[in-house]
Structure 1
Amino acid sequence: MIYKNPVLKGFYPDPSVCTANGKYYMVCSSFQYFPGVPLFWSDDLVNWKQIGYVLTRHSQVMLDKIPASGGVFAPTIRYNDGRFYMVTTNDTTHRNFYVYTDDIYGEWSEPIEVDQGGIDPSLYFEDGRTFFISNGEDDYGEGGVVQCEIDIATGKKLSHSKSIWKGSGGRYLESPHIYKIDGRYILMAAEGGTEYGHMITYAVADNIWGEYKTAPNNPILTNRNKAPYIIQGIGHGDLVFDKHGNLYILSLGFRQTGIWMPYHNLGREVFLTPAHFDENGLLYAGNDGTTDESYEINGDFEQEKLPVYTFKNTDPDIDWCYLRKYHPDNYELSSEKYVLKGTDITLDDVDSPTFIALRQRDFVMELSADVKVDRGEGGITMYMCENEHYDIALRKTDNGTEAVLKLNIGGIKHEQNKTAINGDTATLIVRADNYNYNFFVRCGDREQYLGSGQTKYLTSEVSGGFTGTMTGLYAVGGTAEFSSFVCKYSDGE
């Protein structure tokens, strides 16, 4: 069948994949959002279903009052001797740690720290030994991809940390993974930075400690020179064999809002690219080293479309997430309505407002909810970070209730429009395309346009950072009740 990229749409960067019991399992970065590290499974590498999160307890990860794009970076998932391991970095504490579980649908352990710095950690298992790999600086002051052997039961180092490869010459060497294929050790990594110069490179050794020799055909995968083209930023990949023995790279990438519009508001997404070794043992990927929109894959199945999201068909413990620290007393969530109890913390604060969100999954979207407020403010936010977000809300004033549209760009706070409504309930609507978010309020049969905000201001190119736009519900200074929530995409069912 022919599949289309991305295979997982929306803000799901830094994918890592493992196989176990005939299925594929994948994790992605979550940064300042809680629970941390979304977890997926698949039968075919194309259709991914979220089964939960790895970091579900505050004892596992500290996210309180961290800036946007801090928190949990670049996880790796591995399966060894009946146990799943997830290793990652909390960039807030600058510590690398791993957790484990024997039940992929159950709870994960408390963190076990490893005394090796850098980011983007990975694990490699062989003959009862465990190797810990990250980027950074080794015990001797040498930079590059750094490796040590650890006791997997305790995280204690059993060797010095040693730099084993300095990359192929690109900046920001990161995302190292080691595989043993046909008797050789393949060290795959990313270089160039997770923007338009991103690329995947590799080196080969006969021994786990090296010498790792840089492949002559690097980079093996990059879209940096593929223009004009929507798909850019391809890098940070993980190798996986499918059930038929075919090799693929799951990587991050992003889609520009237009061919000539170098902005991406959906964040970095998950792309699947075929790979292979040639007769000389060189690793190649994609269409002459680039990731295209579609490829053929073995299997008799269809690629699923995005669903229509409602309170009834989503699970707040699986599909939704919170900003930084989760305060359960502020949320009453059911299949009929979400009740949010706001505090004095706002979306502009580097803190934990009353906020629950889904990722924006595609460009063309319509989102609506009936909103009721008793005091304060409650509504819908298109949220990139504390400095860039667009909010449509109901707000209580001395004169009654009003619908208001607020645009926050680079810390500049602008109240775009407001209008009085009868009563304390109205339907708030967001209609999005590649270039604009358009905001409406409906009272009875009367629908009023309040204004718009350009998508390009909710992008990494403008705001910086590593996240993507979230479709959030929020409350400040009072209680907001949300019902009849619907989020539908143009290619959805």
Structure 2
Amino acid sequence: MQITNPVIKGFYPDPSICKAGDTYYLACSSMQYFPGVPLFESKDLINWRPIGHALTRRSQIMLDKVNSSGGVFAPTLRYNDGRFYMTTTNDTTRQNFFVWTDDIYGEWSEPIYIDQGGIDPDLYFEDGKVYFMSNGSDDNGRGVILQCQIDIVTGQKLTPSRPLWQGTGGRFLESPHMYLMNGWYYLMAAEGGTEFGHMVTYARSKSLHGPFEPYPHNPVLTNRNLGGYEIQAVGHGDLIQDQGGNWWIFHLGFRQIGKWIPYHHLGREVFLAPVTFREDGWFTAGHNGTTVTSFETNRIPEHVVQQEQKVYTFENTTWAIDWCYLRHPHDQNYKLHNDRLTLTGTEVTLDQADSPTFIGIRQKDFNASVACNVALTQSGEAGITLYMDENHHYDFAIRHADDQYEVILRLNIGDIKHVQQTVPIGTNSQVQLLVEASHERYTFSFQLDDGQSLELGTAQTKYLSSEVAGGFTGVIIGLYAVHEDAEAQFSSFVCEYQ
């Protein structure tokens, strides 16, 4: 059968995967968004269903006024002795912790903190012992993977942190994962930074504590030399063995907007590549060490069909699973119904690293049509925002000004906050907002109840890209309200991908 990448589209970075019974489970990082750490399940490794989040309570994660791309960094998801564990970093507070649950569809525990620094923590279970790894520095200040043994009940360190491996010399050594296979301990990591130089490297040892010998042909997986290729930044992987004994690597990557246009705004997504073990015990990954857009394989049964949801509405999504907030929401400002949404604004705006009245869904592909009816019942502003961070977002809204209503298009690009177009609509307090998205451009138009429609303008997608904005997130299609007297009702929301 043919597999098409990415297998999970949109801003779902840093995938980590485990298996319980005949089901695979996957977790991703979430940065400043809440709930934290999205979770997915699959029976076949290519069709993934969102099932919830690991961090659903304020007490589990501090997100108050964290900057964009702060907050929850890369998780590791593991299953051991009937229990799921998820360990991650709050990069803003510089704390590593883990939570656990016996029911992955239910609530997770309160956080248990580990006194070891670095990011991208990993948990490894063996013979009743638990080992914790993260990246860090050795006594000479060089990047290294650190390991200690912990008490899985209390999080207490039972051994000092010891250096395991310094990587291959690439910058930003991170994303450690440990595996035991056929008498070898494999330590896999990422190097090169989570941009165009990203890569997966690994080493092996006969001892859990090393020394580790690097794979002679590192990096084992990277697209760093594929100029003009859609998939870039391949790295940060996790291995899994399927029911048939085949090995795979799930990893992040991003799709640039054009062959020779090196910008990406959808965020880092989840990609899949095959892994093959050689007779000498080393493994290779991908297709000649790269990740491709689509590939044929006989590892997945022919009756399995890779499916993709193309239409997202209020009715066919779940608020607590598919949608997200900026940091911790003020619940009293949200009325979530099956077919509509009512938002009450505050003085907090989208330009602040705070919690404006905002709820969003990830943009999952380049070509899309977004439509939503917005009725503003009091003063203020409400509408759709294409949101990368507090300094980079396009706002398309209805607002009340001078005893009448108007539709506005505002472009926020760094320090430039420009109202691109304003169209008065008199006493009309309801409007249908329409956004057409392509690889390189968004187009904004609106329609009134009387059928009158007007295009307000366009904006380039690249100004919402990580290459312009910085950071590690992707565009969120957000619905928002601003001003303490603003109340708005949203209905007939449709996001359709071509």
Taking the aligned partners of 2:267 and 2:256, their CA distance within structure 1 comes to 10
Shift of 1:301: 1.2
Q: Is the 8 A contact 1:203 1:213 kept in 2?
A: yes
Calculate percent identity across the aligned residue pairs.
58
> Which one-letter code corresponds to 2:343 in the other structure?
L
User: Which residue does the alignment assign to 1:212?
Assistant: 212
User: Which residue does the alignment assign to 1:51?
Assistant: 51
User: Which residue does the alignment assign to 1:234?
Assistant: 234
User: Which residue does the alignment assign to 2:460?
Assistant: 454
Shift of 1:215: 1.2
2:75 match: secondary structure: strand
| 2:282 maps to 1:267 | no
Shift of 1:142: 6.3
User: Which residue does the alignment assign to 2:63?
Assistant: 63
Taking the aligned partners of 1:179 and 1:283, their CA distance within structure 2 comes to 13
Bigger drift between 174-183 and 272-281 goes to 272-281
Q: Which of 433, 451, 476 is 2:438 aligned to? A: 433
User: Which residue does the alignment assign to 1:132?
Assistant: 132
User: Which residue does the alignment assign to 2:385?
Assistant: 381
Taking the aligned partners of 2:113 and 2:308, their CA distance within structure 1 comes to 39
User: Which residue does the alignment assign to 1:416?
Assistant: 420
> Which one-letter code corresponds to 1:255 in the other structure?
R
Bigger drift between 443-452 and 458-467 goes to 443-452
Taking the aligned partners of 1:325 and 1:105, their CA distance within structure 2 comes to 21
1:317 match: secondary structure: helix
TM-score w.r.t. the length of structure 1 is 0.98
User: Which residue does the alignment assign to 1:335?
Assistant: 338
Q: Is the 8 A contact 1:139 1:161 kept in 2?
A: no
User: Which residue does the alignment assign to 2:490?
Assistant: 482
User: Which residue does the alignment assign to 2:88?
Assistant: 88
Shift of 1:146: 0.3
1:92-129, Cα deviation, whole Å (9 max, x unpaired): 11000000000011100000000000000000000000
User: Which residue does the alignment assign to 2:290?
Assistant: 290
1:3-50, Cα deviation, whole Å (9 max, x unpaired): 100000000000000000211000001000000000000011111100
Q: Is the 8 A contact 1:139 1:160 kept in 2?
A: no
Taking the aligned partners of 1:208 and 1:280, their CA distance within structure 2 comes to 19
1:210 match: secondary structure: coil
Taking the aligned partners of 1:122 and 1:328, their CA distance within structure 2 comes to 33
| 2:399 maps to 1:395 | yes
Q: Is the 8 A contact 1:238 1:249 kept in 2?
A: yes
Q: Which of 304, 311, 315 is 2:307 aligned to? A: 304
Taking the aligned partners of 1:228 and 1:338, their CA distance within structure 2 comes to 42
| 2:472 maps to 1:466 | yes
1:219-260, Cα deviation, whole Å (9 max, x unpaired): 000000112210000000000011111110000000000111
Taking the aligned partners of 2:482 and 2:9, their CA distance within structure 1 comes to 30
> Which one-letter code corresponds to 1:55 in the other structure?
L
Q: Is the 8 A contact 1:117 1:137 kept in 2?
A: no
1:189-217, Cα deviation, whole Å (9 max, x unpaired): 00000000000000000000001111101
| 2:323 maps to 1:359 | no
Q: Is the 8 A contact 1:13 1:269 kept in 2?
A: yes
Consecutive unaligned residues of structure 1, counting only runs of 5 or more, are none
Q: Is the 8 A contact 2:143 2:172 kept in 1?
A: no
Q: Is the 8 A contact 2:142 2:166 kept in 1?
A: no
Q: How does 1:150-229 map to 2 (within 5 A)?
A: 150-229=150-229
Structure 1 residue runs of 4 or more that deviate by more than 2 Å after TM superposition: 137-143
1:377-420, Cα deviation, whole Å (9 max, x unpaired): 00000000000000100000113100000000012100000111
User: Which residue does the alignment assign to 1:404?
Assistant: 408
Taking the aligned partners of 1:399 and 1:157, their CA distance within structure 2 comes to 64
Q: Is the 8 A contact 2:143 2:173 kept in 1?
A: no
2:99 match: secondary structure: strand
Shift of 1:480: 1.2
Shift of 1:138: 5.5
Taking the aligned partners of 1:377 and 1:207, their CA distance within structure 2 comes to 61
1:18 match: secondary structure: strand
1:153 match: secondary structure: coil
Taking the aligned partners of 2:226 and 2:142, their CA distance within structure 1 comes to 34
Bigger drift between 413-422 and 362-371 goes to 413-422
Taking the aligned partners of 1:11 and 1:276, their CA distance within structure 2 comes to 28
Root-mean-square deviation (CA, aligned residues, Å) is 1.0
Taking the aligned partners of 1:209 and 1:74, their CA distance within structure 2 comes to 23
Shift of 1:141: 6.4
Taking the aligned partners of 1:332 and 1:196, their CA distance within structure 2 comes to 41
Taking the aligned partners of 2:490 and 2:217, their CA distance within structure 1 comes to 54
1:290-310, Cα deviation, whole Å (9 max, x unpaired): 001112241221111223111
Taking the aligned partners of 1:259 and 1:72, their CA distance within structure 2 comes to 32
Shift of 1:453: 0.9
Taking the aligned partners of 1:166 and 1:313, their CA distance within structure 2 comes to 47
> Which one-letter code corresponds to 2:439 in the other structure?
N
1:319-357, Cα deviation, whole Å (9 max, x unpaired): 100001111100001012100000000000111000000
Taking the aligned partners of 1:42 and 1:372, their CA distance within structure 2 comes to 39
Taking the aligned partners of 2:161 and 2:142, their CA distance within structure 1 comes to 10
Count matched residues: 490
> Which one-letter code corresponds to 2:35 in the other structure?
P
2:37 match: secondary structure: strand
Q: How does 1:6-17 map to 2 (within 5 A)?
A: 6-17=6-17
Bigger drift between 54-63 and 139-148 goes to 139-148
1:39 match: secondary structure: strand
Shift of 1:140: 8.8
2:58 match: secondary structure: coil
User: Which residue does the alignment assign to 1:27?
Assistant: 27
User: Which residue does the alignment assign to 2:251?
Assistant: 251
Q: Is the 8 A contact 1:240 1:249 kept in 2?
A: yes
Taking the aligned partners of 1:92 and 1:159, their CA distance within structure 2 comes to 26
> Which one-letter code corresponds to 1:470 in the other structure?
I
Taking the aligned partners of 2:440 and 2:490, their CA distance within structure 1 comes to 27
Taking the aligned partners of 1:244 and 1:227, their CA distance within structure 2 comes to 35
Q: Is the 8 A contact 2:178 2:186 kept in 1?
A: yes
